[in-house]
Amino acid sequence: MWTLALAPVPAAAQALGAPPPPAPPRFAHDVAAFGVGDLASAPGACPVIFVGSSSIRLWSSLAVDMAPMPVLNRGFGGAEIEDVNRWFDQLLTPYRPRAIVFYAGENDLDAGKAPDRIVADFQAFLDLKTQRLGATPVFFTSLKPSLLRFPQFAAQSEVNARIRAIADDRTDLVYLDVVQPMLQDGRPKPLFLGDGLHMGPEGYALWRATIGAALLADHIDALPCDQPTPDMARSAGRTGPG
């Protein structure tokens, strides 16, 4: 089952000083909610999965923007790359995506992680992808410049450059540059909501143009559909991280 439930601690056990039940893994409830949504409306076969942090989660027009290509939004707010890795077998594996559009790493920097760690975590993501999904192409969307986090722009640029170099050596990884379209005179364009971090419609219009063009250029819509087996489909119901 997708739903997560924590059994209450009996009062007698509490009185004896028994430890409280363990907290669910980070983002467990967010991931369980995806499963509940799947039960209400089953995703189409072999979608392009957009996975990552709130810049993906808040893309409310994603299905319309990418139509007629089938897409599935698997963004969850505050996600770091290690969170995507932890839940890989719930977010990605069962759906047999024809491609993955990835956006994460920005929150990692903001949490104090060094570029070395972020690049290593993304390499771990690629390793999982190869193990679970073979040659499925990954489109890495560069860490975006924002008003709120522009002081981190140099570190973002280092991460972007290093992942771009990885893409140069792999046939299953495409680097997508959203940085240049979002800058004007070296500063972020006014594309953001009041928090200075999350994008408004103008920002997503730029992403739609960049990402959509890349998917079409690689003929992702024409890739054969690798239907999930019943065992793979059932694995989507696992509540624990893989």
Give pLDDT, residue 169: 97
Give pLDDT, residue 19: 75
Single-letter residue type at 115: P
Give pLDDT, residue 241: 61
CA 5 vs CA 24, 80, 91, 204: distances in Å: 9, 24, 19, 36
Question: Which CATH number applies to 27-32+44-222?
Answer: 3.40.50.1110
Residue ranges with strand state E in 23-177: 48-52, 71-75, 99-103, 138-141, 173-176
The encoded tokens of residue 237 equal 């119901």
pLDDT for 141-189, tens place per residue? 999 999 999 999 999 999 999 999 999 999 999 999 999 999 999 999 9
The DSSP call for residue 199 is B
Residue ranges with strand state E in 1-145: 48-52, 71-75, 99-103, 138-141
